[in-house]
A and B are shown apart, each in its own frame.
Chain A
Amino acid sequence: MAEVRVENLTKTYGPLKALDAVTLDFRDGGFFGLLGPSGSGKTTLLRAIAGFVIPDDGRVLIGGEPVERVPVEAREIGMVFQSYALFPNMTVADNVAFGLDVRRIRGAERDRRVKDVLDLVQLGDLGQRKPHQLSGGQKQRVAMARAIVTRPRVLLLDEPLSALDKALRVEMQVELKRIQREVGITTIFVTHDQEEALTLSDEIGILRNGRLVRHGPPREVYNNPRDAFTARFLGEANLFSGSLEAGGLRLPDGALIPGATTAMVAVRPENVQVSASEPSGPIRLRAEIRRRIFAGAMGTLILDRHGEPIKAIARDSEFAELPDNGRVWLSWREGSAIPVENAPN
Chain B
Amino acid sequence: MASAILRRDRLRALTLLSPAYLWLTVAIFLPLSAMVFFSVLTDVPFGDREWHLTAGNYQAFLETGTYARLLWKSLQLGATVTALSVLIGFPCAYVLAKVVRGRSREALFLLVVLPFWSNSLVRIFSWAIVLRGNGVLDRAVNAVLPWPVKLNLMYSQSAIVIGLVHSYLPYVILTSYLALQAIDDSLIEAARSLGAKRLTILRRLILPLSMPGLVAGAVLIFVPVVGSFMEPRLLGGRLGTYYGTLIEDQFVAVFNWPLGAALSFILLAVVLVILGLASPILRKARL
Contacts and interface: CB of A to CB of B under 8 A. Distances in A.
The winner among A71, A98, A150 for most chain B CB atoms within 10 A is: A98
B69 interface: no
A85 B184 contact: yes
Nearest to B197: A73
Nearest to A78: B193
B190 A85 contact: yes
B187 A85 contact: yes
A94 to B, nearest CB: 9
B186 A81 contact: yes
- Dominant SS at the B interface? helix
Contacts of A103: 195
B204 interface: yes
Interface string B159-197: 000000000000000000000000010110111111111
B190 A79 contact: yes
Nearest to A158: B186
Given A83-B184, A88-B209, A89-B209, A102 B194 contact: yes
A83 B287 contact: no
B209 A146 contact: no
Nearest to A143: B190
B205 interface: yes
B10 interface: no
Contacts of A156: 193
B31 interface: no
B7 interface: no
Interface in A266-292: none
The winner among B187, B190, B200 for most chain A CB atoms within 10 A is: B190
B284 to A, nearest CB: 12
Interface in A185-227: none
A99 B191 CA distance: 8
Contacts of B193: 50, 72-73, 77-79, 147, 156
Interface residues of A, number: 27
Contact of A150 (B194, B208, B286): B194
Interface in A136-178: 146-147, 150, 156
Given A81-B190, A98-B204, A102-B200, A89 B286 contact: yes
Given A89-B208, A89-B287, A72 B192 contact: yes
Contacts of A73: 192-197
A73 B191 CA distance: 8
A233 interface: no
Contacts of B205: 87, 89
A98 B287 contact: no
B186 A74 contact: no
Interface in A48-100: 50, 52, 71-74, 76-79, 81, 83, 85-90, 98-99
A77 B190 CA distance: 10
A98 B186 contact: no
Given A81-B186, A83-B184, A85-B189, A98 B194 contact: yes
Given A98-B204, A102-B200, A85 B194 contact: no
Contacts of B195: 73-74, 76, 99, 102-103, 150
Contacts of B190: 79, 81, 85-87, 146
B191 A98 contact: yes
Contacts of B196: 73, 98, 102
A103 B195 CA distance: 8
Interface string B220-258: 000000000000000000000000000000000000000
B59 to A, nearest CB: 48
Contacts of B200: 102
Interface of B: 184, 186-187, 189-197, 200, 204-205, 208-209, 286-287
Interface of A: 50, 52, 71-74, 76-79, 81, 83, 85-90, 98-99, 101-103, 146-147, 150, 156
Closest 7 CB pairs of A and B: A99-B194, A85-B190, A79-B193, A85-B186, A102-B195, A72-B192, A89-B208
10 contacts: A52-B189, A71-B192, A85-B184, A87-B190, A88-B209, A89-B208, A89-B287, A98-B196, A146-B190, A147-B194
